[in-house]
Structure 1
């Protein structure tokens, strides 16, 4: 895998260095992000291939499955390589009907962290994103304070945020050190209103600019899921030029667009996983990037 490294929490006493191409586990679950994978051996093999290919950043959540991806990670990779960063998320939960609900009261977040520690077989979670989910009546500051409290207790090494508006990010940074931001972002999701939270535009460029200013890695989610259905002839043209797929060019664009972007494409297919890895070998020229602008 041909990719550079990125520093997480570079201003802290415990900075982390990871390859700037990770893996998101959400797609390892069954249909509807629920239950066991259709092909469990293949799911375990993908996780093992992450390590073999130099990927040392894996994104998960205990509400994927539920608990499915965490258990798969532990089964495939424990005891973990010393340089592996497992990033999880709290703030949400699933109902039996598979709907997504906020789970962000301080006692909820504490319960989720304890569950992640147990299922991942960890004594401390290296990086945790507090995920904002619409419909909550819990103030953002209250949830964030609970995260920083658990960091002080040693349950969490680094705190990040997910699905946040620019206003949320400013609030979080005023309360403590924010290591990473995980938001929807991609070639097709830069300027449009992605999600509405608190009446604010969740468009990606403003958040990316804030991340770059403060040297905070931006971890884009759904970058392929949202980009691929939106056919863009510019992407198709560059894909043909480089003898690559459109998915690979979307990932290569992320890597070239900003040194503070850490893509985490996910898939349940070993073949697609290997194709995604090849995106790190694509060298887009300045002319290519200007064309894709």
Structure 2
């Protein structure tokens, strides 16, 4: 698998991180049902070496960031918290891009308060709003960077052209697109980020895709005495050294199982057989 960490400036993060989206109510809406358990999961993640945690203003909305602060604040020095802004949440499973500058400014200020930090490690634009000029959307982000309220900026669900367009406005360090063994529509974006030295953070990393693939994964999993989820994660880690993984779970047992994926070394042959 090669290198197990990725560098954001001076800070090295473990490539197997944790995505906190599941620590919310149904439809990623409202407060998580069992808050005590959610706090335990977050603390266990950090205790087991996770130092990259991904959240968003839209998770809950707002509840998820506050939960992370309650569980882990004051954050230890090497803990890297990534959040996002730019979505309205009218109800469960309902996501409406909103790139209005006022909304973005509000999201940034709110995230700082809820996470109880003076500066956000990584702020990601959740989506580019097709109805707002992206330069206008990013104006408050650039301002926050200048004021030291945001250390790094990332994008989500973007094309190569959109990344380049944003790079003309301000530096970008990461891209978070849908990507997993079964869905590789963003292959070219992944390769572009690797060339540029940007982190690529696949969301929904555990979808194992079509049934045909599931059988192949199963066979390899049995050989490694691993679960299919572990093989799906190990494949992503081997796919490119700029990939950071953020599998989410509400269970400490699953969390530990996911983290073990970093120990699995797939052979070239195994990797290729899953890639084809």
Q: TM-score range by the shorter chain?
A: over 0.9
1:165 to 135, 155, 159: 159
Match of 1:141 in 2: 135
Q: CA deviation at 1:86?
A: 0.5
Which residue of the partner structure matches residue 265 of structure 1?
247
User: Which whole-Å CA distance do the structure 1 matches of 2:153 and 2:118 have between them?
Assistant: 16
User: Does the 8 Å CA contact 1:85/1:126 hold for their aligned counterparts?
Assistant: yes
> In the alignment, is residue 101 of structure 1 matched against residue 96 of structure 2?
yes
Q: Is the 8 A contact 2:86 2:98 kept in 1?
A: yes
> Any residues of structure 2 matched to 1:197-236 within 5 Å, and which?
203-224=185-206, 226-227=207-208, 232=213, 233-236=215-218
**Aligned partners of 1:27 and 1:98: how far apart in 2?**
12
Match of 1:33 in 2: 28
Partner residue of 1:42?
Answer: 37
Shift of residue 214, structure 1, vs aligned partner:
0.7
**Residue of structure 2 in register with 1:195 after alignment:** none
Give CA-to-partner distance per residue, 1:185-233, whole Å, 9 cap, x none: 111111xxxxxxxxxxxx2111111111111010110111x33675512
Contact 1:25 1:58 in 2 (8 A): yes
- Unpaired segments of 5 or more residues in structure 2? none
Give 1:6's aligned residue. 6
* 8 A Cα contact 2:234 2:266, kept in partner: yes
**CA distance, structure 1, for counterparts of residue 145 and residue 265 of structure 2:** 39
CA distance in 2, matches of 1:186, 1:214: 21
TM-score with structure 1 setting the length: 0.88
Q: Give the Cα–Cα distance (whole angstroms) in 1 for the partners of residues 46 and 208 of structure 2.
A: 27
- Look up the match of 2:119: 124
Name segments (4+ residues, structure 1) moved above 6 Å: none
Match of 1:283 in 2: 265
Cα gap change, 1:175 to 1:240, in 2 (>3 Å): same
- Within the candidate set 252, 273, 276, 2:234 is matched to 252
How many residues of Structure 1 are paired with residues of Structure 2 in the alignment? Answer: 273
Which runs of no fewer than 5 residues in structure 1 stay unpaired? 191-202
Q: Do the aligned partners of residues 274 and 210 (structure 1) sit closer, same or farther apart at CA in structure 2, a change above 3 Å counting?
A: same
